[in-house]
């Protein structure tokens, strides 16, 4: 693990948040497999250290934009299980009153401007949020999450150009999980991804996305500098998604092997790694961590049960919120 200043509370919160994401996703997957969830969803499992390492370096005033694979960002930015499960099930008590679903969860109370079902679609939004911060003299920072697949979208280069020209407080966080949907990233990305940002004069870093402390350390430094007007920055976080592109992508050996998946799960899992670190450093005992896990599983089970029983929106809501008053 990367070295960081010892801070028991921060470490345990990072561990908790990573386990919360994994547990949320396990439950979401079960809801899909048991046909209790409408539509599809995209699992974040395996990438927890990215969302948690970054969001733990942010405040509620800092904004993020998220992706179709967005549950992890939403949890890491502070969202509540009940409202999230309600949204996944299309219930009225969901974050978006059931109108957004898995791919559009937004939680503005914690600065989450929303997941986005267009790959790369939020890059303008994140950069515009940073432009607003600069224009209004606010010191908040916006983090734009996107995958390696989104680096093939032209919008990214348009907004990185403007962010660099105008020194905007935005951090581009490229979650490189190795696959652009059902295609290996090396088949869709020429050259180096960080070099693309560097071409605009944007300082770019590649970091182990399975090491939550490494991600958190780097993000803290970049956020502090972005607040002082030294942005934008670019991070490429090397990570892995355990599930397929979405929950229905079960038979995927035509694009990646089970051996590869097993290697990442067994040897590079961000939660297993951080847990071992916490125990070896004497920050928490196995029993204490087991108790934390059990509490999170209980919270998730209660939230799922609540969401399953919760009411759907009334039919009168179908044409509500098309226009703001």
Partner 1 sequence: MREITLSQAVNEAIAEEMRRDPTVFLMGEDVAEAGTPFKVLSGLVEEFGTARVIDTPISEPGFMGMAVGAAMTGARPIVDLMFGDFIFLIMDQLCNQAAKTHYMSGGKLTVPLVLRTNLGATRRSAAQHSQSLQAIVAHIPGLKVAMPSSAYEAKGLMKTAIRDNNPVVIFEDKLMYQDKAPVQEEEYLIPFGVANVKREGRDITLIGTSSMVQVAEKAAEILAAEGISAEVIDPRTIVPLDEATLVESVKKTSRAIVIDEGHQSYGVTAEIASRLNEKAFYHLDAPVLRMGAMDVPVPFSPALEDLTVPTPEGVAANARRLCAGEMIHAA
Cα-Cα-Cα-Cα dihedral sign, residues 272, 278, 281, 286: negative
Site for partner 1 in 133-152 (CB under 8 A): 133, 135-136, 142
Contact 10, 231 (CB under 8 A): no
List 20, 22, 63, 77, residue binding partner 1 (CB under 8 A): 63
- Written in H, E and C, the secondary structure of 222-272 is HHHHHHCCCCCEEEEEECCCCCCCCCCCCCCCCCCCHHHHHHHHHHCCHHH
CA 76, distance to chain mean position in Å, is 7
**Is residue 199 a contact point for partner 1 (CB under 8 A)?**
no
Minimum Å gap between C-beta 54 and partner 1 is 18
List 38, 78, 124, 178, residue binding partner 1 (CB under 8 A): 124
List 16, 29, 161, 185, residue binding partner 1 (CB under 8 A): 161
Minimum Å gap between C-beta 7 and partner 1 is 30
- Distance (Å) of CA 156 to CA 134, 224, 234: 20, 23, 12
List 12, 152, 155, 188, residue binding partner 1 (CB under 8 A): 155
Pure H helices in the chain: 8-33, 48-55, 71-76, 81-88, 123-135, 154-165, 185-188, 193-198, 212-227, 258-267, 270-280, 286-309
**Is residue 322 a contact point for partner 1 (CB under 8 A)?**
yes
Q: Which stretch binds partner 1 (CB under 8 A): 44-52, 176-184, 244-252, 317-325?
A: 317-325
Q: Which stretch binds partner 1 (CB under 8 A): 24-32, 121-129, 209-217, 219-227?
A: 121-129
Q: Which is nearer to partner 1, 13 or 321 (CB)?
A: 321
Evaluate the omega torsion of the peptide bond into residue 232 and state whether it is cis, within 30 degrees of 0.
yes
**Is residue 307 a contact point for partner 1 (CB under 8 A)?**
no
**Is residue 198 a contact point for partner 1 (CB under 8 A)?**
no
In DSSP terms, which residues pair with 179 in a beta bridge? 184
Q: Which stretch binds partner 1 (CB under 8 A): 111-119, 191-199, 212-220, 292-300?
A: 111-119
Minimum Å gap between C-beta 292 and partner 1 is 31
**Which of 197, 215, 128 has its CA nearest to residue 169?**
128
> In which region does residue 87 sit, left (phi positive, over 0), alpha (psi from -120 to 50) or beta (all else)?
alpha
Q: Which is nearer to partner 1, 81 or 240 (CB)?
A: 81
Minimum Å gap between C-beta 319 and partner 1 is 9
Element (H, E) at 147: strand 142-147
| Interface positions with partner 1 (CB under 8 A) | 63, 65, 94-100, 104, 106, 108, 113-114, 116, 118, 121-133, 135-136, 142, 154-155, 158-159, 161-162, 165, 320-325
């Amino acid at each position: 693990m990367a070295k960081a200043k010892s801070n028991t509370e921060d470490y345990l919160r990072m561990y908790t948040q990573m386990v919360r994401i994994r547990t949320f996703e396990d439950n979401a997957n079960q809801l899909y497999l048991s046909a209790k969830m409408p539509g599809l969803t995209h699992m974040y499992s395996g990438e927890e250290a990215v969302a948690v390492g970054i969001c733990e370096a942010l405040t509620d005033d800092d904004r993020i934009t998220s992706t179709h694979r967005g549950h992890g960002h939403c949890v890491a930015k502070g969202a509540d299980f009940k409202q999230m499960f309600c949204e996944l099930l299309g219930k009225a008590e969901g974050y978006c009153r059931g109108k957004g679903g898995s791919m559009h969860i937004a939680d503005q109370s914690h600065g989450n401007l929303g997941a986005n079902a267009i790959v790369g679609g939020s890059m303008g939004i994140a950069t515009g949020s940073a432009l607003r911060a600069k224009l209004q003299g606010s010191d908040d920072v916006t983090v734009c999450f996107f995958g390696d697949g989104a680096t093939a979208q032209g919008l990214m280069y348009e907004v990185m150009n403007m962010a660099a020209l105008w020194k905007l407080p935005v951090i581009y966080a490229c979650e490189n999980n190795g696959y652009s949907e059902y295609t290996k990233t090396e088949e869709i990305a020429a050259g180096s991804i960080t070099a693309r940002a560097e071409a605009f004069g944007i300082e770019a870093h590649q970091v182990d996305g399975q090491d939550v402390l490494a991600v958190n350390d780097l993000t803290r430094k970049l956020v502090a500098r972005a607040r002082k007007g030294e942005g934008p920055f670019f991070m490429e976080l090397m990570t892995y998604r355990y599930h397929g592109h979405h929950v229905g992508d079960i038979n995927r050996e035509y694009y990646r092997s089970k051996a590869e998946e097993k290697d990442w799960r067994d040897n590079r899992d961000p939660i297993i790694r951080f847990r071992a670190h916490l125990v070896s450093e004497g920050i928490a005992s196995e029993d204490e961590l087991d108790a934390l896990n059990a509490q999170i599983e209980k919270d998730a089970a209660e939230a799922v049960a609540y969401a399953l029983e919760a009411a759907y929106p009334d039919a009168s809501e179908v044409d509500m919120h098309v226009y703001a008053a």
